[in-house]
Amino acid sequence: MSKSLTLSHPTGVIHTSIKLPASKSEANRALIISVLSGSAAELHNLSEANDTQLLQRLLNSDSETIDAEDAGTVMRFLTAYYAITGQSKTLVGTERMCQRPIKVLVDALRELGASITYLGEEGYPPLKIEAFKGSGKKHLKVRSDISSQYISALLMVAPLLPEGLVLELDGKIGSRPYINMTLSLMKHFGVEAAFEGNIITVPHQKYKSASFEVESDWSAASYWYSIVALAKEADVTLLGLRKDSFQGDSAVADIMAHLGVYTSFTDKGIQLTKKHCEKFLSYDFSDCPDLAQTVVALGAALGVKLEITGLESLRIKETDRIQALQIELLSMGSKLEEITPGVFRMEPGIISKEKFNFRTYQDHRMAMAFAPLALLAPTQIQEPTVVRKSYPGFWEDLQKAAFEIKYND
Ligand SMILES: O=C(O)C1=C[C@@H](OP(=O)(O)O)[C@@H](O)[C@H](O)C1
Ligand SMILES: C=C(OP(=O)(O)O)C(=O)O
Protein backbone atom coordinates (compact mmCIF):
# COMPACT_ATOMS: atom_id res chain seq x y z
CA MET A 1 0.00 0.00 0.00
CA SER A 2 1.35 3.42 -0.94
CA LYS A 3 2.31 5.70 1.91
CA SER A 4 1.08 8.74 0.02
CA LEU A 5 -0.32 9.88 -3.27
CA THR A 6 0.06 13.05 -5.27
CA LEU A 7 -3.04 14.51 -6.89
CA SER A 8 -3.26 17.08 -9.61
CA HIS A 9 -5.83 18.33 -12.08
CA PRO A 10 -4.26 19.66 -15.30
CA THR A 11 -7.33 21.42 -16.74
CA GLY A 12 -9.43 22.43 -13.72
CA VAL A 13 -12.49 21.66 -15.83
CA ILE A 14 -14.80 19.02 -14.36
CA HIS A 15 -17.80 17.43 -16.00
CA THR A 16 -18.75 14.15 -14.39
CA SER A 17 -21.46 12.02 -12.85
CA ILE A 18 -20.65 10.15 -9.65
CA LYS A 19 -22.43 7.32 -7.87
CA LEU A 20 -21.70 8.19 -4.26
CA PRO A 21 -21.27 5.54 -1.55
CA ALA A 22 -24.33 4.92 0.61
CA SER A 23 -24.67 6.56 4.03
CA LYS A 24 -22.93 4.48 6.69
CA SER A 25 -25.10 6.13 9.36
CA GLU A 26 -28.35 4.98 7.75
CA ALA A 27 -26.94 1.56 6.87
CA ASN A 28 -25.64 0.87 10.39
CA ARG A 29 -28.99 1.78 11.96
CA ALA A 30 -30.85 -0.41 9.46
CA LEU A 31 -28.51 -3.34 10.25
CA ILE A 32 -29.01 -3.06 14.02
CA ILE A 33 -32.78 -2.65 13.71
CA SER A 34 -32.95 -5.55 11.30
CA VAL A 35 -31.24 -7.90 13.77
CA LEU A 36 -33.44 -6.58 16.62
CA SER A 37 -36.57 -7.24 14.57
CA GLY A 38 -35.69 -10.93 14.55
CA SER A 39 -36.50 -11.34 10.87
CA ALA A 40 -33.98 -10.34 8.23
CA ALA A 41 -35.09 -7.11 6.59
CA GLU A 42 -34.51 -6.49 2.91
CA LEU A 43 -31.82 -3.83 2.91
CA HIS A 44 -30.84 -2.28 -0.40
CA ASN A 45 -27.77 -0.22 -1.26
CA LEU A 46 -25.89 -1.08 1.94
CA SER A 47 -22.74 0.99 2.07
CA GLU A 48 -19.43 -0.42 0.87
CA ALA A 49 -17.87 1.72 3.63
CA ASN A 50 -15.69 -0.29 6.00
CA ASP A 51 -17.83 0.84 8.96
CA THR A 52 -20.85 -0.89 7.40
CA GLN A 53 -19.05 -3.95 6.04
CA LEU A 54 -17.54 -4.39 9.50
CA LEU A 55 -20.89 -4.17 11.33
CA GLN A 56 -22.40 -6.69 8.94
CA ARG A 57 -19.56 -9.14 9.59
CA LEU A 58 -19.70 -8.64 13.36
CA LEU A 59 -23.46 -9.19 13.54
CA ASN A 60 -22.89 -12.56 11.88
CA SER A 61 -19.95 -13.51 14.09
CA ASP A 62 -20.06 -16.06 16.93
CA SER A 63 -16.74 -14.88 18.25
CA GLU A 64 -16.57 -13.76 21.89
CA THR A 65 -14.16 -10.95 21.04
CA ILE A 66 -15.61 -8.28 18.80
CA ASP A 67 -13.31 -5.70 17.20
CA ALA A 68 -15.15 -2.46 16.35
CA GLU A 69 -11.90 -1.08 14.84
CA ASP A 70 -12.24 2.72 14.45
CA ALA A 71 -16.00 2.81 13.88
CA GLY A 72 -17.83 4.91 16.49
CA THR A 73 -21.33 3.76 15.51
CA VAL A 74 -20.23 0.12 15.56
CA MET A 75 -18.74 0.42 19.06
CA ARG A 76 -21.68 2.35 20.53
CA PHE A 77 -24.54 0.52 18.77
CA LEU A 78 -23.09 -2.94 19.52
CA THR A 79 -22.47 -2.06 23.18
CA ALA A 80 -26.19 -1.37 23.64
CA TYR A 81 -27.23 -4.33 21.48
CA TYR A 82 -25.10 -6.94 23.27
CA ALA A 83 -25.82 -5.43 26.70
CA ILE A 84 -29.62 -5.46 26.37
CA THR A 85 -29.77 -8.85 24.64
CA GLY A 86 -27.45 -10.24 27.34
CA GLN A 87 -24.73 -11.58 25.06
CA SER A 88 -21.34 -12.27 26.59
CA LYS A 89 -18.86 -10.30 24.48
CA THR A 90 -15.57 -8.47 24.79
CA LEU A 91 -15.65 -5.31 22.70
CA VAL A 92 -12.30 -3.95 21.57
CA GLY A 93 -11.19 -1.31 19.06
CA THR A 94 -8.22 0.62 17.72
CA GLU A 95 -5.93 2.60 20.00
CA ARG A 96 -7.92 5.73 19.09
CA MET A 97 -11.24 3.99 19.81
CA CYS A 98 -9.93 3.32 23.33
CA GLN A 99 -9.54 7.11 23.76
CA ARG A 100 -13.11 7.87 22.64
CA PRO A 101 -15.40 8.11 25.71
CA ILE A 102 -18.30 5.70 26.25
CA LYS A 103 -19.14 6.33 29.92
CA VAL A 104 -22.49 8.06 29.30
CA LEU A 105 -23.75 5.03 27.40
CA VAL A 106 -22.31 2.45 29.82
CA ASP A 107 -23.81 4.28 32.84
CA ALA A 108 -27.23 4.37 31.17
CA LEU A 109 -27.11 0.68 30.23
CA ARG A 110 -25.99 -0.28 33.74
CA GLU A 111 -28.99 1.59 35.17
CA LEU A 112 -31.20 -0.53 32.92
CA GLY A 113 -29.60 -3.70 34.33
CA ALA A 114 -26.69 -4.39 31.99
CA SER A 115 -23.47 -5.90 33.23
CA ILE A 116 -20.52 -4.03 31.69
CA THR A 117 -16.93 -3.92 32.95
CA TYR A 118 -14.14 -1.67 31.74
CA LEU A 119 -11.10 -3.74 30.81
CA GLY A 120 -8.79 -0.74 30.47
CA GLU A 121 -9.32 2.84 31.54
CA GLU A 122 -12.59 3.63 33.33
CA GLY A 123 -15.02 5.27 30.89
CA TYR A 124 -13.40 3.96 27.68
CA PRO A 125 -13.31 0.75 25.62
CA PRO A 126 -12.37 -2.11 25.75
CA LEU A 127 -15.48 -3.44 27.49
CA LYS A 128 -16.62 -6.81 28.82
CA ILE A 129 -20.39 -7.31 28.46
CA GLU A 130 -22.25 -10.09 30.30
CA ALA A 131 -25.77 -11.17 31.33
CA PHE A 132 -28.63 -8.64 31.37
CA LYS A 133 -30.76 -8.54 34.53
CA GLY A 134 -33.49 -5.97 33.77
CA SER A 135 -33.78 -3.34 36.54
CA GLY A 136 -37.30 -2.36 35.49
CA LYS A 137 -36.11 1.24 35.38
CA LYS A 138 -37.87 3.28 32.72
CA HIS A 139 -36.73 6.91 33.11
CA LEU A 140 -33.12 7.82 32.38
CA LYS A 141 -31.37 11.16 32.29
CA VAL A 142 -28.51 11.11 29.77
CA ARG A 143 -26.05 13.78 28.73
CA SER A 144 -26.60 14.79 25.12
CA ASP A 145 -23.65 17.15 24.62
CA ILE A 146 -20.88 14.57 24.08
CA SER A 147 -22.08 12.19 21.36
CA SER A 148 -25.54 11.59 19.93
CA GLN A 149 -24.46 8.02 19.22
CA TYR A 150 -25.12 7.12 22.89
CA ILE A 151 -28.72 8.33 22.51
CA SER A 152 -29.19 6.54 19.16
CA ALA A 153 -27.78 3.31 20.64
CA LEU A 154 -30.23 3.47 23.57
CA LEU A 155 -33.20 4.39 21.37
CA MET A 156 -32.77 1.44 19.02
CA VAL A 157 -32.86 -1.11 21.87
CA ALA A 158 -35.57 0.78 23.83
CA PRO A 159 -38.63 -0.98 22.30
CA LEU A 160 -37.28 -4.34 23.56
CA LEU A 161 -37.39 -3.23 27.19
CA PRO A 162 -40.55 -4.51 28.94
CA GLU A 163 -41.43 -0.99 30.17
CA GLY A 164 -40.08 0.88 27.16
CA LEU A 165 -37.84 3.88 27.85
CA VAL A 166 -38.14 7.57 28.59
CA LEU A 167 -34.91 9.45 27.90
CA GLU A 168 -34.41 12.91 29.32
CA LEU A 169 -31.66 14.60 27.34
CA ASP A 170 -29.45 16.64 29.61
CA GLY A 171 -27.60 19.70 28.25
CA LYS A 172 -27.10 20.90 24.70
CA ILE A 173 -28.28 18.39 22.09
CA GLY A 174 -25.31 17.89 19.75
CA SER A 175 -25.69 16.17 16.36
CA ARG A 176 -29.49 16.32 16.74
CA PRO A 177 -30.29 15.25 13.13
CA TYR A 178 -28.62 11.88 13.85
CA ILE A 179 -31.11 11.33 16.70
CA ASN A 180 -33.95 12.24 14.33
CA MET A 181 -32.49 9.84 11.75
CA THR A 182 -32.59 7.04 14.35
CA LEU A 183 -36.23 7.80 15.17
CA SER A 184 -37.11 7.93 11.46
CA LEU A 185 -35.50 4.55 10.81
CA MET A 186 -37.27 3.08 13.86
CA LYS A 187 -40.54 4.42 12.49
CA HIS A 188 -39.81 2.90 9.10
CA PHE A 189 -39.51 -0.46 10.87
CA GLY A 190 -42.82 0.00 12.70
CA VAL A 191 -41.77 1.55 16.03
CA GLU A 192 -43.40 4.80 17.18
CA ALA A 193 -41.65 7.21 19.54
CA ALA A 194 -42.24 10.80 20.65
CA PHE A 195 -39.54 13.51 20.85
CA GLU A 196 -40.92 16.55 22.70
CA GLY A 197 -38.66 19.22 24.15
CA ASN A 198 -35.79 17.25 25.64
CA ILE A 199 -37.78 14.07 26.34
CA ILE A 200 -37.88 11.05 24.06
CA THR A 201 -40.47 8.39 24.86
CA VAL A 202 -40.30 4.92 23.33
CA PRO A 203 -43.04 2.51 24.46
CA HIS A 204 -42.42 -1.25 24.49
CA GLN A 205 -43.10 -2.47 20.92
CA LYS A 206 -41.96 -4.93 18.28
CA TYR A 207 -40.04 -3.96 15.16
CA LYS A 208 -41.68 -5.03 11.93
CA SER A 209 -39.81 -6.39 8.98
CA ALA A 210 -39.63 -3.96 6.06
CA SER A 211 -37.46 -3.28 3.09
CA PHE A 212 -35.23 -0.21 3.16
CA GLU A 213 -33.12 1.52 0.55
CA VAL A 214 -30.13 3.39 1.97
CA GLU A 215 -29.67 6.87 0.50
CA SER A 216 -26.31 8.04 -0.83
CA ASP A 217 -24.08 9.76 1.68
CA TRP A 218 -24.41 13.55 2.00
CA SER A 219 -21.16 13.79 4.00
CA ALA A 220 -19.39 12.20 1.02
CA ALA A 221 -21.16 14.69 -1.27
CA SER A 222 -19.49 17.55 0.62
CA TYR A 223 -16.08 16.80 -0.98
CA TRP A 224 -17.64 17.14 -4.43
CA TYR A 225 -19.07 20.50 -3.44
CA SER A 226 -15.52 21.61 -2.60
CA ILE A 227 -14.34 20.32 -5.96
CA VAL A 228 -16.98 22.33 -7.80
CA ALA A 229 -16.18 25.43 -5.73
CA LEU A 230 -12.46 25.19 -6.61
CA ALA A 231 -12.77 24.12 -10.27
CA LYS A 232 -12.42 26.61 -13.14
CA GLU A 233 -15.53 25.15 -14.73
CA ALA A 234 -17.76 22.43 -13.32
CA ASP A 235 -20.93 20.51 -13.87
CA VAL A 236 -21.15 17.56 -11.47
CA THR A 237 -24.05 15.15 -10.99
CA LEU A 238 -24.19 13.17 -7.73
CA LEU A 239 -26.52 10.21 -7.91
CA GLY A 240 -28.77 8.82 -5.19
CA LEU A 241 -29.30 11.93 -3.02
CA ARG A 242 -32.77 13.15 -2.03
CA LYS A 243 -34.21 16.49 -0.97
CA ASP A 244 -36.26 14.82 1.81
CA SER A 245 -33.14 13.19 3.31
CA PHE A 246 -32.86 11.64 6.80
CA GLN A 247 -29.29 12.99 6.87
CA GLY A 248 -28.50 16.28 8.61
CA ASP A 249 -25.44 16.66 6.40
CA SER A 250 -27.80 17.56 3.55
CA ALA A 251 -27.29 21.04 5.09
CA VAL A 252 -24.18 21.10 2.88
CA ALA A 253 -26.38 22.34 0.01
CA ASP A 254 -27.28 25.51 1.99
CA ILE A 255 -23.76 26.08 3.28
CA MET A 256 -22.21 25.74 -0.15
CA ALA A 257 -24.69 28.17 -1.67
CA HIS A 258 -22.55 30.79 0.18
CA LEU A 259 -19.28 29.26 -1.02
CA GLY A 260 -19.93 29.25 -4.75
CA VAL A 261 -21.95 26.10 -5.47
CA TYR A 262 -25.50 25.97 -6.75
CA THR A 263 -27.52 22.76 -6.13
CA SER A 264 -30.43 21.61 -8.23
CA PHE A 265 -32.38 18.46 -7.39
CA THR A 266 -33.29 16.03 -10.17
CA ASP A 267 -35.13 12.72 -10.01
CA LYS A 268 -31.77 10.87 -9.88
CA GLY A 269 -29.88 13.02 -7.39
CA ILE A 270 -28.35 16.49 -7.52
CA GLN A 271 -26.52 18.62 -10.05
CA LEU A 272 -23.83 21.03 -8.88
CA THR A 273 -22.78 24.11 -10.81
CA LYS A 274 -20.75 27.19 -9.97
CA LYS A 275 -22.13 30.48 -8.69
CA HIS A 276 -20.91 33.62 -6.91
CA CYS A 277 -18.91 32.99 -3.70
CA GLU A 278 -19.19 35.20 -0.60
CA LYS A 279 -16.12 36.53 1.28
CA PHE A 280 -17.24 35.66 4.83
CA LEU A 281 -19.28 32.85 6.37
CA SER A 282 -20.53 32.38 9.92
CA TYR A 283 -21.86 28.89 10.71
CA ASP A 284 -22.82 26.66 13.66
CA PHE A 285 -21.85 23.02 13.01
CA SER A 286 -23.65 21.55 16.07
CA ASP A 287 -26.10 19.72 13.79
CA CYS A 288 -23.57 18.59 11.18
CA PRO A 289 -20.11 18.21 12.76
CA ASP A 290 -18.82 15.98 9.94
CA LEU A 291 -19.06 18.91 7.50
CA ALA A 292 -16.72 21.15 9.49
CA GLN A 293 -13.47 19.88 7.98
CA THR A 294 -14.78 20.23 4.41
CA VAL A 295 -15.87 23.82 5.00
CA VAL A 296 -12.72 24.87 6.87
CA ALA A 297 -10.36 23.45 4.21
CA LEU A 298 -12.45 24.99 1.44
CA GLY A 299 -12.66 28.38 3.17
CA ALA A 300 -8.84 28.43 3.43
CA ALA A 301 -8.49 27.46 -0.25
CA LEU A 302 -11.00 30.08 -1.45
CA GLY A 303 -9.73 32.85 0.83
CA VAL A 304 -13.09 33.05 2.65
CA LYS A 305 -12.92 34.11 6.29
CA LEU A 306 -14.98 31.88 8.62
CA GLU A 307 -16.46 32.31 12.07
CA ILE A 308 -17.61 28.94 13.33
CA THR A 309 -19.16 27.34 16.41
CA GLY A 310 -20.51 23.92 17.37
CA LEU A 311 -17.15 22.14 17.05
CA GLU A 312 -17.16 20.62 20.58
CA SER A 313 -17.48 16.98 19.45
CA LEU A 314 -14.61 17.26 16.94
CA ARG A 315 -11.97 16.63 19.61
CA ILE A 316 -13.21 13.07 20.28
CA LYS A 317 -13.70 11.76 16.76
CA GLU A 318 -11.25 9.73 14.61
CA THR A 319 -8.61 12.21 15.72
CA ASP A 320 -8.67 15.55 17.53
CA ARG A 321 -10.03 17.22 14.40
CA ILE A 322 -9.55 20.76 15.67
CA GLN A 323 -5.88 20.20 16.32
CA ALA A 324 -5.41 18.35 13.02
CA LEU A 325 -7.08 21.22 11.12
CA GLN A 326 -4.98 23.81 12.94
CA ILE A 327 -1.73 22.07 12.01
CA GLU A 328 -2.63 21.45 8.36
CA LEU A 329 -4.01 24.96 7.83
CA LEU A 330 -0.79 26.43 9.21
CA SER A 331 1.13 24.39 6.61
CA MET A 332 -0.71 26.38 3.93
CA GLY A 333 -0.40 29.73 5.66
CA SER A 334 -3.93 29.92 7.13
CA LYS A 335 -4.96 30.05 10.79
CA LEU A 336 -7.75 28.45 12.83
CA GLU A 337 -8.02 29.96 16.30
CA GLU A 338 -10.46 29.78 19.21
CA ILE A 339 -11.14 33.46 19.81
CA THR A 340 -13.55 33.04 22.74
CA PRO A 341 -14.60 29.72 24.30
CA GLY A 342 -16.41 27.72 21.61
CA VAL A 343 -16.01 30.35 18.87
CA PHE A 344 -13.41 29.73 16.17
CA ARG A 345 -12.11 32.05 13.49
CA MET A 346 -10.42 30.84 10.31
CA GLU A 347 -8.21 33.47 8.69
CA PRO A 348 -7.12 32.42 5.23
CA GLY A 349 -3.53 33.27 4.26
CA ILE A 350 -1.97 33.95 0.89
CA ILE A 351 -1.80 30.52 -0.72
CA SER A 352 1.41 29.37 -2.39
CA LYS A 353 0.41 27.69 -5.64
CA GLU A 354 3.49 25.45 -5.74
CA LYS A 355 2.40 22.33 -3.89
CA PHE A 356 0.60 21.09 -0.79
CA ASN A 357 1.33 18.16 1.50
CA PHE A 358 -1.33 17.11 4.01
CA ARG A 359 -1.20 14.59 6.82
CA THR A 360 -4.41 12.68 7.58
CA TYR A 361 -4.19 11.55 11.25
CA GLN A 362 -6.02 8.22 10.62
CA ASP A 363 -9.05 10.32 9.73
CA HIS A 364 -10.84 9.74 6.41
CA ARG A 365 -12.32 13.24 6.52
CA MET A 366 -8.88 14.91 6.73
CA ALA A 367 -7.88 13.15 3.48
CA MET A 368 -11.10 13.94 1.62
CA ALA A 369 -11.49 17.52 2.88
CA PHE A 370 -8.01 18.54 1.65
CA ALA A 371 -7.90 16.50 -1.60
CA PRO A 372 -9.91 19.13 -3.59
CA LEU A 373 -7.02 21.59 -3.08
CA ALA A 374 -5.32 19.69 -5.92
CA LEU A 375 -7.32 22.01 -8.16
CA LEU A 376 -5.02 24.82 -6.96
CA ALA A 377 -1.67 23.00 -6.88
CA PRO A 378 -0.26 19.42 -6.85
CA THR A 379 -1.31 17.97 -3.52
CA GLN A 380 0.29 15.15 -1.60
CA ILE A 381 -2.00 13.21 0.74
CA GLN A 382 -0.40 10.97 3.38
CA GLU A 383 -1.92 7.55 4.19
CA PRO A 384 -4.61 7.78 1.50
CA THR A 385 -6.20 4.41 2.40
CA VAL A 386 -7.92 6.08 5.39
CA VAL A 387 -10.85 6.85 3.09
CA ARG A 388 -11.98 3.21 3.34
CA LYS A 389 -13.91 4.02 6.53
CA SER A 390 -16.71 5.81 4.67
CA TYR A 391 -15.81 6.18 0.95
CA PRO A 392 -13.48 3.41 -0.30
CA GLY A 393 -13.85 4.43 -3.97
CA PHE A 394 -12.95 8.09 -3.38
CA TRP A 395 -9.64 8.10 -5.27
CA GLU A 396 -11.09 6.14 -8.20
CA ASP A 397 -13.99 8.62 -8.37
CA LEU A 398 -11.51 11.51 -8.49
CA GLN A 399 -9.75 9.81 -11.43
CA LYS A 400 -13.10 9.60 -13.16
CA ALA A 401 -13.30 13.39 -12.79
CA ALA A 402 -9.90 13.69 -14.56
CA PHE A 403 -7.74 14.14 -11.46
CA GLU A 404 -4.31 12.60 -12.03
CA ILE A 405 -3.02 10.40 -9.23
CA LYS A 406 0.55 9.26 -8.65
CA TYR A 407 1.02 6.67 -5.89
CA ASN A 408 4.30 7.21 -3.97
CA ASP A 409 6.25 4.47 -2.13
O1 LIG B 1 -24.94 8.49 14.58
C2 LIG B 1 -24.18 8.60 13.61
O3 LIG B 1 -24.28 7.88 12.60
C4 LIG B 1 -23.12 9.63 13.67
C5 LIG B 1 -23.21 10.66 14.58
C6 LIG B 1 -22.21 11.75 14.65
O7 LIG B 1 -21.42 11.54 15.81
P8 LIG B 1 -21.64 12.33 17.21
O9 LIG B 1 -23.02 12.11 17.65
O10 LIG B 1 -20.64 11.67 18.12
O11 LIG B 1 -21.35 13.78 16.94
C12 LIG B 1 -21.31 11.78 13.42
O13 LIG B 1 -20.20 12.61 13.66
C14 LIG B 1 -20.85 10.41 13.02
O15 LIG B 1 -20.05 10.45 11.85
C16 LIG B 1 -22.01 9.51 12.70
C1 LIG C 1 -17.13 10.69 13.39
C2 LIG C 1 -17.27 9.79 12.41
O3 LIG C 1 -17.55 8.47 12.58
P4 LIG C 1 -17.73 7.60 13.91
O5 LIG C 1 -17.96 8.51 15.08
O6 LIG C 1 -18.91 6.73 13.62
O7 LIG C 1 -16.46 6.81 14.06
C8 LIG C 1 -17.15 10.21 11.00
O9 LIG C 1 -17.43 9.38 10.11
O10 LIG C 1 -16.78 11.37 10.72
Distance between CA atoms of residues 186 and 160, nearest Å: 12
pLDDT tens-digit profile of 334-344? 999 999 999 99
The residues of the chain that CATH labels 3.65.10.10 are 4-22+218-408, 24-201
Which stretch of 88-102, 129-143, 308-322, 350-364 has the lowest confidence by average pLDDT? 350-364
Structure confidence at residue 277 (pLDDT): 97
DSSP, collapsed to helix, strand or coil, labels residue 222 as: helix
User: Is pLDDT above 80 for 1?
Assistant: no
Q: How far is the CA of 396 from the centre of ligand 1 (A)?
A: 26
How large is the ipTM?
0.99
Specify the pLDDT at position 39.
Answer: 82
The CATH architecture of the domain made up of 24-201 is: Alpha-beta prism (3.65)
What is the third-level CATH fold of 4-22+218-408?
UDP-n-acetylglucosamine1-carboxyvinyl-transferase; Chain (3.65.10)
Residue 353 predicted with pLDDT over 80: no
pLDDT value, residue 180? 98
Q: Give DSSP secondary structure letters for 159-174.
A: GGSTT-EEEEEES--T
Compute the average pLDDT of residues 125-148: 97
| Residue 227 exposure: Cα atoms within 13 Å on the Cβ side | 33
Give the strand pairing for 259-265 and 89-92. Answer: unpaired
> What is the per-residue pLDDT across 73-120, written as a single tens digit (0 to 9) for each?
999 999 999 999 999 999 999 999 999 999 999 999 999 999 999 999
Phi, psi dihedral angles at 174 (to 5 degrees): -85, 150
Give the position, in ligand 2's atom list, of the atom nearest the Cα of 317: 1
Distance CA(306)–CA(334), nearest Å, equals 11
What's residue 363's pLDDT? 98
Pocket, ligand 2, Cβ cutoff 6 A: 71-73, 290, 317-318, 365, 390
Burial class (CB in 10 A: 0-12, 13-18, 19+), 345: middle
Nearest to 175 by CA among 219, 138, 139: 219
**Pick from 214, 213, 216: which is nearest to 270 by CA?**
216
Residue 290 annotated among the catalytic residues of the structure = yes
The overall pTM is greater than 0.95 = yes
Question: How would residue 350 be classed by pLDDT, with cut points 50, 70 and 90?
Answer: confident
Q: Which of 51, 70, 249, 290 is catalytic?
A: 290
Kindly list the protein residues whose Cβ atom lies closer than 6 A to any atom of ligand 1. Answer: 25, 73, 147-149, 152, 174-175, 178, 289-290, 313
Task: Output 206 or 353, whichever has higher pLDDT.
Answer: 206
